[in-house]
Chain A
Amino acid sequence: MGKTILCHCEDVEVEEVYSALEQGFADLETLRRYTGIGTGKCQGKCCLVQTLRILASLARTNAAETKPLTGDPLLIHLPTIRPPVLPLRIADIVEAGETAVAHDKPRIEEERS
């Protein structure tokens, strides 16, 4: 009775992806949040590409009987990657002594999600 672990941080098995798709969570962003894949400490470093491979193969064979509740079916893309890239200890930030200076605003007012 072995398990095939997809997300090591949140202990999510491969079967859960198929189960979530059946329940209608087809958009990667909602699939992630619903199953927990890629939302743990490593933020998807160990599991994202394997998840995308599954979605890509389903999209190719059209084998997914998805009832999209929450998104377009099986878009293959990276979720929004946010800082910090590695876990960053709060005491380290505070003791670094950086003070908030001028406001960081991007010069280009593009919308980013």
Chain B
Amino acid sequence: MTRRADVLIIGGGVNGLGCAYNLARRGVENIVVIERGYIGAGASGRCGAGIRQLWGMEENVILARESVKIYERLSGELRFNIFFRQGGYLMLVFDEREHELVSKTIPVQNRLGVPTRLLTGSEITEIAPGINLDGVLAAAYCPKGGVAYPYAVLWGYAEAARRLGVEIRVHTRVTHAARRDDGTYGVSTEKGDFIAPTIVNVAGARTKDIAAMIGIDIPTKPVRHEIAVTESLKPFLKPMVISLKKGFYFSQSLRGEIVGGIGDPNEPSSYYTGSSPDFLFRYARALRETFPPLGKARFIRQWAGLYDMSPDARPILGTVEGYEGYYHACGFSGHGFMISPMITKLLAELITTGKTSMPIDTLDLTRFAKGALTRDPYVVG
């Protein structure tokens, strides 16, 4: 039983569904999205859903800035509330090196239209009463950043895509994929086979596995990152608080829960998404140190998801020479959700017109072969 589609999208996360929606809006028909679990089973449903424009590299700032603009109007467009609360982003600065970094990058962001400013002392506690200022030299604050409810984004895209004729198949796991002799792509799953001339590989941490089946080598690695949530409390924290140095982030969701996590520099690469007690201890300590009143709150759940890490922690987007009709987007290294609207817009442009409204050659897969990679220091968590 083979289903022939015009576009087959592998991955039903925020990129897969967003891409399907964008393609359908441009008039593409016969689109099928296949997802191995339930909608949100992957990183899109596990992430902290922070949306920020605080980045170092111009490319990231622009991607994030444009994505924020799309997120701001997405509820109206999809007729589904995505609960994007723009409470701001507060990045705490703990040492001179970081201080130097933000002092250099804030003007870059400002020049590109992102209203970040540097705060000190009581200015910080005004934005976020309760913060412990010990050791905090300053904070970079962007009022336009915020948090969304990731499931709402996924459901909104899914329903809108369906209204436009997209078929979404869940609990459909890919077992084999290959380029066929006639240049189309054949994908076998546990629930049937698919053939399509255009295939979009946006399978999160498993993008590289799908690519490998087809014969493409993507140098990404899955790395577990843990996250925990507290009981819901009356609103008291407006911004998302992050620290690059200490590797943590936390914010208060619309329901009132504090959602956040802390990275582990020693975490090896794996597909494991179980939880650990180590994480609870490290994260609890970081939370209590940074925001002492939170000592009285209680964790009710911890979980984990996978960052799809690329060698330079920057996304991989575009096509692969010799594989016409194949498109991919991966390697988001923990910040895929916040730039997804722009990524899927670029993908849809690339697929339908062959051109993109902003240059994406710096995100091409071939950059790894050329060496000399640059890394944006603003990667967290």
A and B touch in the complex (CB under 8 A): yes
What is the chain A residue whose CB lies nearest that of B42? A113
11 contacts between A and B (CB under 8 A): A27-B38, A30-B40, A33-B151, A41-B300, A43-B300, A82-B303, A89-B298, A90-B295, A112-B274, A113-B37, A113-B41
With A27-B170, A29-B41, A91-B296 known to touch, is A34 a contact of B155 (CB < 8 Å)?
Answer: yes
Residue B69, interface by CB 8 Å: no
Give residues in B with beta carbon < 8 Å to A: 37-41, 151, 155, 158-159, 162, 168, 170-171, 230-232, 264, 266-268, 270-278, 280-282, 284-285, 287-288, 294-303
Interface: A84 (CB within 8 A): yes
Q: Is the CB of B295 within 8 A of A87?
A: no
B273/A41 in contact, CB under 8 A: no
Residue from B39, B170, B273, B287 in contact with A90 in the complex, judged by beta carbons closer than 8 Å? B287
A72 interface residue, CB < 8 Å from B? yes
The answer to whether A70 touches B297, judged by C-beta atoms less than 8 angstroms apart, is no
A2 within 8 Å of B by Cβ? no
Which residues of chain A are within 8 angstroms of B267 by Cβ–Cβ distance? 103
A105 at the interface (CB under 8 A from B): yes
Contact partner of B159 among A69, A84, A87, A105, CB < 8 A? A69
How far is A29 from B41 in the complex, measured between Cα atoms in Å?
Answer: 9
Contact A90 B274 (CB under 8 A): no
The reply to whether A109 and B299 contact each other, CB–CB distance below 8 Å, is no
Number of interface residues of A (CB under 8 A): 38
Dominant SS among interface residues on chain B: mixed
Q: Pick the 8 closest A-B CB pairs, nearest first.
A: A91-B295, A87-B298, A93-B284, A70-B39, A27-B38, A71-B38, A104-B276, A112-B274
Flag A17-46 by CB within 8 Å of B: 1 or 0 each. Answer: 000000000010110011000001101000
| Residues of chain A with a CB closer than 8 A to B277's CB | 83, 98, 104
Q: Evaluate whether A99 and B281 lie within 8 angstroms (CB atoms) in the complex, with A68-B170, A69-B168, A113-B41 already known.
A: yes
Q: Given the complex, which residues of A lie within 8 Å of B295, measured CB to CB? A: 89-91, 94
Main secondary structure of the interface of A (DSSP, over half): loop
Question: Which of B38, B273, B280, B298 is the one whose CB lies under 8 Å from A70?
Answer: B38
A87–B299 CB distance below 8 A: yes
Contact, CB under 8 Å: A113 / B273: yes
B297 and A89 form a contact (CB under 8 A): yes
Residues of B close to A104: CB separation below 8 A: 276-278
Q: How far is the CB of B147 from chain A (nearest CB, A)?
A: 16
- The smallest beta-carbon distance between B200 and chain A, in angstroms, is 20
Select one of B162, B297, B299, B301 contacting A69, CB under 8 A.
B162
- Could you tell me if B275 and A83 are in contact, using CB atoms closer than 8 angstroms? yes
Give the Cβ gap from B373 to chain A, nearest Cβ, in Å. 27
On chain B, the residues within 8 Å of A100 by CB distance are 278, 281-282
Q: Are B159 and A90 in contact (CB under 8 A)?
A: no
Q: Given contacts A89-B296, A109-B270, are A70 and B158 in contact (CB under 8 A)?
A: yes
Q: Are B278 and A83 in contact (CB under 8 A)?
A: no
| Docked-complex contact A82 and B40, CB < 8 angstroms | no
Q: How many angstroms from the CA of A68 to the CA of B277 in the assembled complex? A: 36
Q: Which of B40, B171, B301 has most A Cβ within 10 Å?
A: B301
Asked if A71 meets B298 with Cβ closer than 8 Å, knowing A33-B151, A112-B272, the reply is no
Task: Please state if A29 and B40 are interface contacts (CB–CB under 8 Å).
Answer: yes
Please report the C-alpha to C-alpha distance between residue A71 and residue B171 in the assembled complex, in whole angstroms.
7
Chain B residues closer than 8 Å to A33, beta-carbon distance: 40, 151
Residues of A within 8 A of B151 (CB): 30, 33-34
B208 to chain A, nearest CB (A): 16
- A42-66: CB near B (< 8 Å → 1, else 0) gives 0100000000000000000000000
- The closest CB in chain A to the CB of B278 belongs to A100
A80 contacts which of B155, B270, B303 (Cβ < 8 Å)? Answer: B303
Alpha-carbon distance between A80 and B288 when the two chains are bound, in angstroms: 28
Q: How far is the CB of A24 from chain B (nearest CB, A)?
A: 8
List residues of chain B with CB within 8 A of the CB of A34: 151, 155
Q: Identify the closest chain A residue to B299 (Cβ).
A: A88
Q: How far apart are the CA atoms of A89 and B299 in the complex, in Å? A: 6
Q: Is the CB of B281 within 8 A of A103?
A: no
Contact, CB under 8 Å: A111 / B284: no
Are A88 and B298 interface neighbours, CB within 8 A? yes
Q: Which residues of A contact B303 (CB under 8 A)?
A: 80, 82
Query: In the complex, are the beta carbons of B273 and A84 less than 8 A apart?
Result: no
Chain A contacts for B280, CB-based, 8 A: 83-84, 88, 93
Contact between chains at A87 and B171 (CB < 8 Å): no
Q: How far is the CA of A33 from the CA of B253 in the complex (A)?
A: 14
- Within the complex, the shortest CB–CB distance from B168 to chain A, in Å, comes to 7
Residues in B with CB closer than 8 Å to A40 are: 231-232, 300
